[in-house]
Every structure is written in C-alpha cells, then in structure tokens.
Amino acid sequence: MDAVKRKLELVDMKVWVAVFMVFSFVCSGGFGIEDMVSGSGPGFAILLLIILPFLWGLPQALVCSELGSAIPEDGGLYRWSRRANGEFWGFQTGWWWVLSIFVDSAVYIALTVDYAQTWFHLTGLERWGLAVVLIAIFAYVNIRGLQLASWMLVVLQVIVFVPFMALAVLGFAHWHYNPFHPILLPGVSLVGGVGVALSVGIWMYSGFESLSTMAGEIKSPQRVIPRAVMFTLPIVLAFYVLSTMGGMAAVGHWSEWGTSAKYDFMGVGLVVGGQTLRHLFFAAMLAGNFALFIAFLAAGARPSYVLSKDKLMPKFLGKESKYGTPYLAILLMAGVDAILVRWGFATLIVIDVFLLMLAHITIYISAVRLRIKQPDLPRPFKVKLGTKAFAAMCVVPVAVAVLAMSPFGNGWNYFVWGSVAALSGPPAYLIFKKIYKGRELPEVGYEYADDEGSGAEISVPAATASGT
C-alpha cells in the first residue's frame, strides 16, 4: 500500500520553549484589556480576567492537552474532530479555524504598521510596503522551520514581559486608586457589562489549541505540549491581572482607558514609569504583534497542509520545502495577509471571533465523543474525571462560546456576517470532496520512526479514497 511520506528534522523542543510558544498564541501582551476597563468598568474587567480562566481557559487547556496527547498529529483540532465526528465535521472545524486565523494574523501586522504610520508619518503606499516586507520576513522564518521560529518567539516574549511586569511592580508601589471601583459603568446592567467585555476576555484566553497543529513536527509532543499548555495558563492569568491592577491602582481614570484613548498601555506606562516605560511598552507592542503573526502563520498553515494531504484541499498546499515545512501553505497565507492589511478590519474581526468560537465548540464535542467512542484510546495526559463529569465540564465553555456568538452582546451585524462566513464551510467541503475525493484515514495516525539520528520519517498509509 502506498504511503505519503514526509522527511523533516523533528524539533527537540524543551518544555520551557513550548511555554513561550503557547504564551505567544494565547497572550503576547495585554493589549486590548484597556477597552475592557472603559467598556464595562474596571472592577468587572479585572473580575472577568480572574473568572474566565476557570470558565473558559482551564477547560480549554485541559481538553486540548488530553486530545493533543491522544492524537499528536499535524493539523491538531482538524484531526481531533475528524476522528470523533467524521470527515465532514472535521473539515468544517479545520475550515473555520483556518479562515479565522487568516484574518486574525493579518490584523497583527496591520496594527503594527498603523502605529508606524502614525509615528513616522508614512504614506498609505509606504505603510503597505512596510507590511509586505514584514510579512515576507516572517514567512521566511516559518519556512525555515519551528526551531528558528520558536527561538525568535522566546526573544520577542521577553521584550513583552519586561514592561508589563514593571507596570505591576511600580503600579502597586504607587497605589492611589481602588482598581475595582466601580465594578460596572454607572447605569450599565450586568448583562450589558458582559456584552461589552466578554468577547475581548475570551479572546485573551484563547489559543491553547494552536501548538497542537504542529505536533507532527515536535519530538515527544504527548509530553511537551500538555505540560506547556498547563504551565502557561497560570502565567497568563497572573500576567493579565497583576499588570491591569497595577496600572489601575497607580493611574485610575478608568473612563479614559482604551486602545485608541489617552490611557492605552503606552499612556499608562508614561504616567507610571516615564518615557522609558512608555518606550518599552511601544517595543512590547511591536514584539507582541510580531510574535502573534509568526505563531499564527505557523499554526494557520498546518491544518490546510494536512487537509491537502487528506485530499480535501488543493494539492499544492501539501508541498514541502527542503526543511520539511509546508511552504506553499505558508506563502498562501502570507499572500492573503498582504492583501488584507490594506483594508479596515472591523467586520473581519467580527467574522474572525465568530468562526473561532465555532471551532472551539467542535473541540469540546470531539473530546466528549472520543471518550465515548474510543475509551481505550491511549491518553498520556487524561483529565481525571469520568465521562459524564468530563462532559459537564465541557458544557460551561460551550455555553460561554454560544453567548459570545449571540447577537445580544455584540449586535446583529456580528451575528449575520459571522454566520455567512460559517456557512461557507459546507459548500467548500462539497466542492473539494468532488474534485479531490478525500482520503480514508487509518485508525492510527502518523507514525514516528527515528531515521538514524538524521530526522524522522512521518508516514500516513494511503487507504483507498472514499467512494472508490
């Protein structure tokens, strides 16, 4: 029987390096929290940052760790969903997630060049040219492989850490205001406050599934990825809460906080630590956006690569560079991003979050169904709950995701455009299925075999195509 073979050097990634990578996917700075503070009230924003990890972040981390240890394959959540729910729903999960990441990654470069345009008075063409250069550089980094990308992320996240931790220390040392007062904006109900802050808060704690999309390129992913995910969650929680409380305690003036207002984190840094801290926050903003783009360019390319190998997307997306990376999938994503950065992103962000919530819901459904369908599937990391209790745990984040997708908190424009984007999945599946036929997957996924120290050979036995 023929086999699809892929030759590459597996990355011997240390857990602490993987922690930096997961931190890049999930956090990469607290930029955006400023809008939670002014949009819902400082007390509610901080409480939400404390509560959401237990309603959203922790279940996500636990479920992704269990699934990632059981099915440590490139493509991550697409392969989890396909194993649990079948080819159609596996495709939908991969399609929704890839579309959301295509939009999302472009935003980080757009935000960076927007700041550069303001600071250096660039023309529109110069702004776009700078964006294209940055995209090209980071695409090359990704094509060279995870080893280079992961170490670049470590350096960038150190730059991110310094000013936020300095703000926490200096802010508490200059405590003048109650960071929890008021809990909610005057005249705003609890429902109204949730609608304003929930989407941002969920976004702040999303991304724990992302490293799993590259599991097929990491040595011992069953050990490395779950540990990194579980270590990262409390770090992100402390990072968000301490820096926000420090800034609020020292600066106050919560109504003037915002990413486009007087007190973004750079403005807060100016008050707390002078021009030095302000400049460090500017460097952190650049580093954080660069890190997010590098990380999501890597993660976003893998599901489309694996879908191509499974004969559910165009064949060219399955092409590999001499480094073993899916270079055409990376270049396609970079090319789309180069186009998207020329436009505004209000509607695109709406589509992005909606699709991401759908993909997350399928992750929880997949985890529960695999517990039922394949109870004996080896799970090196397993949540120590019975199947019913495990399912009950998953209900909470699914409910949070449904609330975030509803029109009641974010408006009908959000709901309509998000639904349109989501409904593109079924026709895309039917088209690609008709053209490429699809591949029946073996019960056991990728097999990893040492290649006399020179790398690894990853084989997927090619069974007879579906329907033939």
Write down the pTM of the prediction.
Answer: 0.85
- Residues in contact with 252: Cβ distance below 8 Å, sequence separation at least 6, in sequence order: 176, 177
Q: 412 pLDDT exceeds 80?
A: no
Mean pLDDT of the chain: 85
Higher-confidence position of 59 and 40: 59
Q: Determine the average pLDDT of the residues in 395-415.
A: 80
Contact between residue 370 and residue 70 where contact means Cβ atoms under 8 Å apart: yes
Please name the fold of domain 3-461: Amino acid/polyamine transporter I (1.20.1740)
Cα–Cα–Cα angle for 144, 320, 315, nearest 5°? 145
427-441 pLDDT, tens digit each: 999 999 999 998 887
Q: With contact defined as beta carbons under 8 Å apart, do 460 and 73 qualify?
A: no
pLDDT at 106: 83
DSSP-derived letter for residue 423 is: T
pLDDT 10s digits, 150-206? 999 999 999 999 999 999 999 999 999 999 988 887 766 666 666 667 778 888 898
The predicted-structure confidence for 67-118, as pLDDT tens digits, reads as follows 999 999 888 999 999 999 999 999 999 999 998 888 888 878 887 887 777 7
d(CA 77, CA 96): 11
* Angle made by CA atoms 42, 48, 49, in degrees to the nearest 5: 90
- Asked if 76 and 212 touch (Cβ cutoff 8 Å), the reply is yes
* Residue 347, CB-side half-sphere exposure with 13 Å CA sphere: 10
Q: Which residues contact 221 (CB under 8 A, 6 or more apart)?
A: 68, 69, 72, 212, 215
Residue 449, token pair as written in the block: 């075999």
